[in-house]
Structure 1
């Protein structure tokens, strides 16, 4: 171990899964994969046997974490819908209906402000250069930063609203059951 590394320090960016078992390294690798990838490629990245990679990828497929694409060769890809579902369940479990509704209102207010500022319903409907000229005190970087925040607020509002509906449904079922 070098002088700059200690047992308590995070792993380097070059080897973020150093010290993890094979399952964790495969999981971490699939989380970073944005396109269908073969089990052999994943095995190479995590330094394990391709049979071992296929075993864990099959298990992750059964859990819904990974999508398997049959073909020659078979490929695997992170299932973003699973992580979205998981995040919504987590929000519903950790927050009350009132807390979730409050967050939906806050996000709606932020979105409304952006819609009013840019006279559009989505960031995609705004010409950034024209908006920069209209709002002369704002740089193009400020405009794009707003677009990123606006997009994030819209996505987050959907998650919180789905979590609110889920939590409200669960509470209604529990009250009537």
Structure 2
């Protein structure tokens, strides 16, 4: 890779937010956090003062972006429900009811194909090792890939359906109001 390519590309992962302001660095650190973490550890990752991290984490807690757990010291964790809610609202804002319905239909078709292929109601009901042993065509890696795609399709269908319902309910309210 040429030196200019490296300079124009994204920053190294461990320093992904170095060019952002402190709020963005803390937010970026929260996005990567998968378990309750102290403000000091978040400050270390965001390269800022712990007092500054606590200030922004308090604000993020009020907004619902993080969950604060009391203790000595207090810890903070990304609030996945907030990001789910935000994704659904964005889908409802960006797409029409018809587009959302089309996505739900496409995902339902894909899910039904997996249910038929694996003779199961959900990916959790499939024993991947046994399915690979019973198949002349599918490797265990292909089966695990299918199961991951199937689970993702189910989650996405739920999001699109919730966005569709939100948009439909909003249109009903406007029509009656």
> How many matched pairs?
175
Partner residue in 1 for 2:39: 39
Deviations 1:33-89 (A, max 9, x none): 000000011111112111000000000001100000011110000000000000000
What's the counterpart of residue 105 of structure 2? 105
Aligned equivalents of 1:95 and 1:31: distance in 2? 25
Q: CA deviation at 1:9?
A: 2.7
Residue of structure 2 equivalent to 1:28 = 28
Partner of 2:152: 152
Where does 1:160-175 land on structure 2 (aligned, <5 Å)?
160-175=160-175
Match of 1:72, SS state, is coil
Counterparts of 2:129 and 2:48 in 1: how far apart (Å)? 49
Higher normalized helix content (fraction of residues): 2
Residue 67 of structure 2 aligns to a residue in which SS? Answer: strand
RMSD (Å) for aligned C-alpha atoms: 1.3
In the alignment, the residues of structure 2 paired with residue 103 and residue 133 of structure 1 have an alpha-carbon distance, to the nearest angstrom, of 34
> C-alpha separation between the residues in 2 aligned to 1:14 and 1:55?
23
- Residue 134 of structure 2 corresponds to 134
Structure 2, unpaired ranges of 5+: none
- Please name the residue that 1:118 is paired with: 118
How far, CA to CA, are the matches of 2:47 and 2:160 in structure 1? 39
Unaligned 5+ segments in structure 1 are none
TM-score, length basis structure 1: 0.95
Instruction: Measure, in 2, the Cα distance between the counterparts of 1:89 and 1:146.
Output: 28
